[in-house]
Amino acid sequence: MKQWWFGLSAILFISALHAADFEAGLKAYESGDYASAIKEFQPLADQGVRNAQYNLGLIYAKGQGVKQDYTEAAKWYRKAAEQGVVEAEYNLGMLYSAGNGVPKDPAEAMKWFTQAAEKGDVQAANSIGTFYDEGEGAFKNKAEAAKWYRKAADQGVANAQFNLGVMYDTGQGVPVNYSEAVKWYQKAAEQNNEGALCNLGILYYNGQGVKLDRLQAHEYFLLAKAGGDPRAENLMQLTTEKLTKKQLAEASEKANSWKQAHVSKPATPSVHAVEVASNAASNGASSVAAKVSMPVADSTSALVSTPVAQIPESSKSVWTGIERVIAVGDVHGDYEQLTAILRSALLIDNSENWVGGKAHLVQTGDILDRGSDARRVMDLLMKLQTQAASAGGFVHCLLGSHETMNLYGDLRFVAPSAYAEYSDSNSEKLRDTFYRQYQDQIAKTNEGKEVAVSELSRDEWLASHPLGFYEMEAAFTTEGRYGKWLRSLDSVIKINNNLFMHAGLSPKYTRYTLDQINDEVRAELNNPAKLHGGIVTDQEGPFWYRGVAKGDQIQMEPVLDKVLTHFGAAREVVGHSTVEAITPRFNGRVILIDVGLPRVEENTGRLACLLIENGKPIALDEGSKVELPKDEDGADMLRYLKQTAALDPVPSPLLPRIAAIETKIGQRSNP
């Protein structure tokens, strides 16, 4: 979610025609005598004076001297808008976008916003950008959003500059470009946009688009906190522990100097006096205007939990005394493979009902995307959760990177066939309705324009909106069946002395409890305004971090030690990073379980999972128990792979790995 400039344009005009009456109305308005203002403006509006019509609409919209009446406001705004009053066009668009006084009509709203923007109203351009950014169906177009944000950003609109920075920061509508993100954040920050200040701090902290500079990051966090950004205080704690007292004092001094230099600069740009041309058609001469700045939405940012020293054992994310745990890695919509692995682990019967008793099943995320049966997978897991609980067991479905992507609207990896799971007998009709809305939107946007906005052909549009597209979109909202369920899931849990998550955790998360991580993720997914800079999109967080899965073991050992010590765990169990077979690292303190279970892309569909029974981890491959190796590329790994390969159809996909280890062992024996 981006920052909107979405307040009614509040401008009163002075018309030279009927100047005395108009002046009397304006003075009455400015003194708060709205009844007298209406008395003066009403007859002028009835006579077609467009500025009086606009002013009357504004009074009804704000309920000044009369009962607030959006229907009456819309009537007068329309009369003024049809005579070319840009502020009336913008405000009429506002009413249509919200459904106040008129039916809610996104296409009609876009029509009036576009007319206002083409006359130079930069706030209308920003609103169009947000419309495309946050809209649904035919109105969702990130590339168009970036284009309109740029129009407003180039004219100095701080919110648009911030929004454009976010798009470059996150790769929405434009390629990821941290340097461009820094550029636009800096422009918005110059106008005291607290979200931009905080995001600059994050980029300096991570060294993205700029040279890594924790002192500079701390300065920006200080400024963001002073501006009211809710993330800043906790982010400051990250930099505080990495800077000396001298550096902290220097950052504070720089922040104070910056505030003094920018004390008079508004958070959003003021709009200068508007001139309405004097001509017969406009019924008026010059007009003086003073646009009132309206509040903007929260920045696209995430709250950060208050750090604590250690996780309490009373945590709802911690389970103890569990005798049998089965952990399954990435599924990616392969229903048949999931049911096969669950049957091999004796958790379900041939009717796919729970028979696992008091066992705990942990699925470490990425049940969505790539495969075609993601909906069936979710339905099965939801059913098994209920059945397992009744039997004294438990099904822990953890969020993965692809679940979060679907929830915040990144659908790049949804298989075209997966949409069909959501289609029904009404899908053709529903899609036709949205297509007509798309055509109407294009037509209204192009109305009166010399250069028309290009329209997708019907075939092109249908290809990007397969049957079931809109039903799936609805199902993943906060109130949709699957959206509500996914947003309720945990991201990280601890069972006995095992930490389970999708990807891994960097040491920065030793500032949190497990409950705080899970609660923060839920808060971010329930409010997209909190996503940027938060846990969900953090490359060092539980959905993306590959340090312990791919990093050098000697270098990563201290990292792993810190995380395990903080959470009181013996090992991490993670998916996300694909391996040929269940693979331990760091002498078994990390176990990788994404074995390419789903038969997508080039994966072979390996039926393997991790079994932890009475505290001992063991591979369960094709239903057979195989003792895990004590090394990653030595003789015991060779033993393990050969035992595992013997369970495969010939030839085993493990043969290349076996050959590579044999070669490596031979080289060690013959230096």
Tokens of 224: 């963001």
Phi, psi dihedrals of residue 232, rounded to the nearest 5°: -60, -45
- The sign one gets for the Cα dihedral 311, 316, 317, 321 is positive
DSSP classification of residue 141: -
Residue type, 649: P
Supply the angle between the helices 374-390 and 335-344 in degrees, to the nearest 10: 30
- CATH numeric code, 318-408+489-628: 3.60.21.10
Question: How far apart are the C-alpha atoms of 135 and 593, rounded to whole Å?
Answer: 38
pLDDT at site 138? 59
CA count, 13 A, side-chain hemisphere, 565: 8
- In DSSP terms, 223 is beta-bridged to none
Mark out the alpha helices in 391-426 (DSSP H runs).
401-407, 416-419
Residue type, 133: D
Phi, psi dihedrals of residue 233, rounded to the nearest 5°: -60, -45
pLDDT at site 16? 45
| DSSP codes joined into one string, 94-134 | HHHHHTSSS---HHHHHHHHHHHHHTT-HHHHHHHHHHHHH
Q: 590-592 and 571-574: which strand pairing? A: parallel
pLDDT at site 137? 61
Q: What is the mean pLDDT of each run of 10 residues along the chain (671 residues)?
A: 46 49 78 85 86 87 88 91 88 86 86 86 84 70 86 88 87 86 93 90 88 92 86 81 91 90 52 24 24 21 23 61 94 94 95 93 95 93 91 94 90 88 91 87 76 75 88 90 94 95 92 92 87 86 92 88 91 93 92 89 77 92 90 86 88 88 76 59
pLDDT at site 640? 92
Tokens of 260: 């003094």
Question: How far apart are the C-alpha atoms of 469 and 438, rounded to whole Å?
Answer: 15
pLDDT at site 301? 25
- From first CA to last CA, the distance across the chain in angstroms is 59
Torsion of CA 44, 49, 54, 55, to 10 degrees: -40
Question: How far apart are the C-alpha atoms of 213 and 206, rounded to whole Å?
Answer: 8
Residue 307 · residue 234 · CB < 8 Å: yes
- The residue ranges of every structural domain in the chain are 195-265, 318-408+489-628, 424-467, 630-671
Residue 523 · residue 530 · CB < 8 Å: yes
